[in-house]
Structures are given as structure tokens and as C-alpha cells.
Amino acid sequence: MLRTGASRLALRSIAAPAARPASHVFSRAPFPVQCTTKFSSIAPKRPQSIPIAPLKPIQAAILRRTLADKIDRKAEDKYQHERIKPDPARVTATSTVHPLLSEVGTDTPQPEVDMMAGVRHDLATIKDTFNLSEVPRQAFYMGLAGVLPYLATSLSTVACAYEINHSVAGYGYFLSAQTAEDMLHILQPLQIGYGAAILSFLGAIHWGLEWAGFGGYHGYPRYFIGVAATAVAWPTIMMPVEYALISQFMAFTLLYYVDTRATYRGWTPHWYSIYRFVLTFIVGASIVVSLIGRGEVADKVGRIPGAVDRITALRESAQDKLAEEEQAAVLQKEAEQHAGDGEADE
């Protein structure tokens, strides 16, 4: 039988892979990947596969037909009409754009970690905590003027303690040891009394807000704040200095917590909690400084007599005076009796 050149070519192309299994034609190993250079951003970004030219014509045709038959039309239609959900966190205007001057296949360099971000955040928090821009200026100035005398007594206590500790032969830099001790006996009761007055004033603010109807009328719960502050404040003037200062420190802290809760409930202006924090911070620091100064000279300065000591001394002095008067009356009576007996003998 005569065979033309075309028929011989077809038979040769079919018979050529006879030495290998037929299935090997369709399950052949993946084509080796050929990557392009990284030194040019203009080069293709996708890996280039080796063309299928080495395949026989019939093999290439069968392979193309096989790959084309595997297309899933339903999936393609589904993907075509599928709505893509926006994801700004992962997909941005530049997430799929390769930089022109960077190398292909390399990761985009991440921005450097800001090591001072935490410090700046803490500083911003402190700044917001002490932000008094919303506090009325008049209220701020009056409140600051009210705590300055308290701070002055605290600093004066430390100065007197320093003079006592560094005195030579009874004389310090500016004051003698005796003068500094006498000033301590005046300053510390003054600080305690002034602190009790401040606590009473802070409690009375809630009475004023109740009368004004700020945040509504709440009756006894709001009145109780003012009464409790006064009831805690004034008994401290009868305590020893150290116990009085510690008690007032706890009272200021507790009242600040109550004022914060009142602000949260809308019983006070929204800026009142920040305003109270700043003033309470100054007062609390002053009390701590006073306790430190007092502790430095605790073994060199006699205990300051408190109100209880003065009352006890007054009662004892009254009893002594009464006993002296009674003794004088008895002696006078005995003298008169002896005088009468002498006249009778004569």
C-alpha cells in the first residue's frame, strides 16, 4: 500500500511514543519553571514555562484539547457574578502594585518599628489627665489659690525640720533650733485645721449642687456626702499630728472617689473630676511631704500637745486650782478658829 508523506508523518507521530506508556503523555511531569532576572522591574513578573514546541503536533493538539475540555463553565460563571467584598485592611490602592525601583520577587520592606510609640502614648495619657482646658478659669484660679496655703505650710514644715537637723550649737542657716521648733508647733496644727476646712468645703459643694438642681434632685444621697465629709474632717484636729495627717489623706482620697462617681452619674459638671484630681494631687503630695519632714525630727522635737492634751491639762489645772482654793479655805478657817480660841483664853 502506498503511503503519502502526510500519512507517514501521522503514523510516525503516533508510533513515536510507543516505547512509553500512553498515559504518560497526559500525566507528564510539570514543565520546568523558567524564572526571569530580578534586576529589571520591566521584566515579566510571572514565571515563564517552557513552550510545548518539542511535543509532536498530534500530541500538542491532544494536550490542548484535553486542557480545554477541563474548563468548569459553572464555576467560571459563578466567579464572574461573585461580588468581591472590600477588605481595606488587606487590599489597598498600593497592595497589588509593585514598586518601580524595587526588585522582582522580593518582599516589600516593612516600615521600621517606632520604639518611642509607647512613651508618646503614655505622655499623651498624662497630658489628657491633667488637661484643664474645659475647667472655668475663675474656678481653677480660686481652687489653686485655696490649696497654695496648704502647700506653703507643708514646705515650711520641711524647712523647719532642715534647720533643726543642720543646726550647730543651736543655730541653723536662717533660724535657731528653738525658733524652728516653735514654728513647727504652730504650722502643723494650722495645716490640720486648714485641711479640715477644705474637706468641709468640698462636702458643702454637693449641697449647693442639690439646691441648684444640677443633674436633678437626689435628696439624702447627695446631702449625705456633705455631712460625711464634715463629720470625718473636724475630729482630726483632736488627734496627734501624724494620725491627723494620715486620716486627712485618706479622707481626701475617699472624697475624690465619691466625686468621680458623682461626675459619672451626672451629679456634677463633666470637668469636675479632672479639677478635683489636680487639687487632690497637690494636697496629697503636701501631706506626704509634711509627714516626711515630721519624721526627720521626730526624735528631736517634743510631741506637740493636741486638743485632747489641752483639754486634759485644763481639767487638771481646774481641779488643782479647786483643791488649792479648798485648802486655802480650810487653812483660813483653822486660822480663824485659832484666833477665836486665843481671844477666849484671854
Does one domain contain both 237 and 158? yes
User: In this structure, are 63 and 190 located in the same domain?
Assistant: no
Q: Is residue 145 part of a domain?
A: yes
- Per-residue confidence (pLDDT) for residue 198, from 0 to 100: 94
Residue 314 belongs to a domain: no
What tens digit of pLDDT does each residue of 63-90 get? 666 665 566 778 788 878 888 777 776 7
As a whole number of angstroms, the distance between CA 210 and CA 70 comes to 82
pLDDT in tens, 123-155: 888 887 778 888 899 999 999 999 999 999 999
> Is 76 within a domain?
no
Asked if residue 146 and residue 240 are part of one domain, the reply reads: yes
> pLDDT grade, residue 109 (50/70/90)?
low
pLDDT at 223 over 90: yes
Q: What is the largest CA-CA distance in the chain?
A: 197
Maximum mean pLDDT: which of 5-14, 29-38, 107-116: 107-116
Which of the four pLDDT bands, split at 50, 70 and 90, describes residue 296? confident
* Tally of domains in the chain: 2
Query: What contacts 337, CB < 8 A, 6 or more positions away?
Result: none
303 has pLDDT over 90: no
Per-residue pLDDT, 9: 46
Do 58 and 146 sit in the same domain of this protein? no
pLDDT at 29: 46
Quote the pLDDT of residue 199: 94
- 269 CB contacts (<8 Å, ≥6 apart)? 214, 263
203 shares its domain with 291: yes
Are 65 and 176 found together in one domain? no
Instruction: Note whether residue 264 is domain-resident.
Output: yes
Same domain for 222 and 141: yes
End-to-end CA distance of the chain: 197
Amino acid 98: pLDDT: 59
Least confident of 26-30, 95-99, 128-132, 152-156: 26-30
Could you read off the pLDDT of 261-280 as tens digits, one per residue? 999 989 999 899 889 998 99
Say if residue 11's pLDDT is above 50: no
Torsion of CA 254, 255, 261, 264, to 10 degrees: -140
- Does the pLDDT of residue 241 top 80, yes or no? yes
Is the domain of 65 the same as that of 151? no
Instruction: Quote the pLDDT of residue 36.
Output: 47
pLDDT at residue 319, rounded to an integer: 77
Structural domain includes residue 100: no
Q: Is pLDDT of 3 > 80?
A: no
Cβ–Cβ < 8 Å for 198, 146: yes
| 74 lies in some domain | no
Same domain, residue pair 166 and 272? yes
Residue 328 has pLDDT above 60, yes or no: yes
Q: Is residue 22's pLDDT more than 50?
A: no
Burial of 25 (0-12, 13-18, 19+ CB in 10 A): middle
The pLDDT, as a whole number, for residue 232 is: 93
At 23 the pLDDT is: 43
Residue 154 sits in the same domain as residue 249: yes
- Residue 101: pLDDT band with limits 50, 70, 90: low
Residue 297 has pLDDT above 70, yes or no: yes
Average pLDDT, the chain: 76
Owning domain of residue 21: 12-34+49-69
Q: Which pLDDT value is given to residue 268?
A: 92
- Lowest mean per-residue pLDDT among 5-9, 98-102, 252-256: 5-9
Same domain, 153 and 294: yes
Written as nine digits, the cell of 164 is 533643726
Residues 6 or more apart whose Cβ sits within 8 Å of residue 154: 191, 286, 287, 289, 290, 293
Q: Is residue 165 part of a domain?
A: yes
pLDDT top residue among 50 and 131: 131
324 domain-assigned? no
- What integer pLDDT is reported at residue 162 of this predicted model? 84
Q: How confident is the model at residue 195 (pLDDT cuts 50, 70, 90)?
A: very high
Does 141 lie in the same domain as 255? Answer: yes
How far lies 174's CA from each of 109, 180, 313, in Å? 66, 9, 34
pLDDT of residue 56: 66
Position 169 scores a pLDDT of 66
